[in-house]
Structure 1
Amino acid sequence: MLIGDNYVFVELQKTGSTHIKQQLQALLGGHSEGKHNKPSDEQLGADRVIIGSVRDPWSWYLSLWSYGCQRRGSLYTRLVDAQNWQRSLPLLQARQRERGDLALEQLTPQRAHDVWYADTGSAQGFREWLRAVCLPEMRSTVQSGFEASGLGRWGCGLMSYRYLKLFTHGVTSLASEAESAEDLRQWTRRHFRPAHMIRLHALAEDLIATVQALGRPLSAEQCEALRQARPTNRSSRPHPFGHYYDAQALDEVARREWLLIERHGFERPSLG
């Protein structure tokens, strides 16, 4: 989180937030407090405007997986720890008995360590990981609080949970306040706190618009410098996007992250 005189930048993981923070700090000043945390009411007490960051969910999941391949991140830690699977394993076993659609030998913490996160060039590793992370039965293993949020009622995925947890007052009341997908849309509109969102695919233009909306005029040279600036802290992978995704994986993300896709106009990527 970056706090300035008249703004707070709240950063969603894997959305180019390091680069955004650097640019905002250079143009508007401010100081860092934590990283992927929410501002308190006290920090917002000076009528600061909230800025958030987001990216398309297909590249978000790929970036999150790549980060885990470096043996980093809370999701990696949870997925390779057998203790964190204790609530999910009975649910996975029950689903297999009822539906027979899971390969349980591919759903273990050892598999996460040995296959899912073993090689940033492995399409198989990514696709196995993605399916596991998107399984409803895995919510309690994937993220603390995810299952209790009630988002599973509308088939929402991990990115939607983190997005709503960070950019609203919280999701603890969501299950009791929304009964349908339309209720969820309206709840999100009512409780969403950022006034400006910086999208990774339009980072420079969104930054320019946000900074100027906060009362900081930018020269043509400054705008061009923002357009030419190279993002920092990118996840490294040896293959392009289409190597990792197939049509089934694209569909899975589209089903789980429909709310974000609708809200921000993200388009399904092409594999061609």
Structure 2
Amino acid sequence: MIEYEKFIYLDMYKTGSTYVDSLLRKLIKGKPLRRTRHAPITKGRPFFWKRGKYAFATVRNPWDWYVSMWAYSIKQPNVLFFRDVRTVLGPEGSKKLFDAENPKESFAVWLRALADPAFLNSVMIGHPYSKTSLNKFLGFYSYRFMRVTTPHPALAMGWWNIRNMDHAIRHQKRWALYDQVFKSETLTEEFSQFVLENRKRFGFRHNAERILAENAPTPKNTSNRTLSTYRDYYTDELRELVASRDRLIIELFGYEF
């Protein structure tokens, strides 16, 4: 969550969040009021939530997101919970999940492991996703998106409230704190238009158009991909695995493989 005077950005990682954060630094005079990267809004504002402020988020095709997350974890071995995987499994065990020389096979092992509650519990030391009952049916991406964009996830995202995918989708629709969501696939165009249409409303600099022209090229993918497209990493089985476990993102934002 990155909060400025007149708006809040709910920054989900691997959805163009670094790109948006970088642009906001140039477009807004002064520093953010609160900055807790990739965290729910109620971590920084536990009692006031949005308090009338406009909030937006970014989202990404889930099949693409998992490939990017896997590839980025090879480049940055300390990212997220993957450092725990390496600690528990050791170099040889973890290489099966993070082998850049065998991307399709390694990605398949990793994605299946990420959907296995028993595996998660054994390697994700202290990570909330490994402890929640939601990991039986809810993909990691959908889980993280819910945590970033809904209030008090540690309390509200328990088995007593969310017991299946339909419950999760209903919860997201009811409690989502964003007023607008930008898709990473069209982020440059949509976010630039948003800035220019709301220059005065949100306090963007008077020369925002020039700043965007100079600093808003197509967002770069910082992961180490070796295959041509994200689709090349998937078998029919893996495609259906994501389709089932991340139905929340797919249905809410109309994504297709």
Does 1 or 2 have the higher relative contact order (CA < 8 Å, sep 6+)?
Answer: 2
Q: Does 1:78 align with 2:69?
A: no
Q: Tell me the residue number matched to 1:161.
A: 143
Please give the residue correspondences for 1:1-272 in structure 2 after superposition, counting only pairs within 5 Å. 1-29=1-29, 31=31, 33-39=35-41, 40-41=44-45, 47-70=52-75, 71-82=77-88, 110-119=91-100, 122-140=103-121, 141-142=123-124, 144-152=127-135, 155-169=137-151, 170-174=153-157, 175-211=159-195, 212=197, 215=201, 225=213, 229-232=217-220, 234-241=222-229, 242-268=231-257
**Higher mean displacement: 66-75 or 231-240:** 231-240
Deviation at 1:213, TM superposition (A): 5.1
SS in structure 2 at match of 1:204: helix
Aligned residues: 242
User: What is the TM-score of this pair, normalised by structure 2?
Assistant: 0.80
Quote the Cα distance in structure 1 between the aligned partners of 2:176 and 2:72.
28
User: What is the TM-score of this pair, normalised by structure 1?
Assistant: 0.76
Q: What percentage of aligned pairs have identical amino acids?
A: 21
Change (3 A) 1:35 1:120: farther
Structure 2 residues not aligned, in runs of 5+: none
Q: Is the 8 A contact 2:12 2:59 kept in 1?
A: yes
Q: Is the 8 A contact 1:6 1:49 kept in 2?
A: yes
Q: Is the 8 A contact 1:66 1:237 kept in 2?
A: yes
Change (3 A) 1:240 1:130: same
Deviation at 1:222, TM superposition (A): 5.7
Rg: which structure is higher? 1
Q: Is the 8 A contact 2:10 2:57 kept in 1?
A: yes
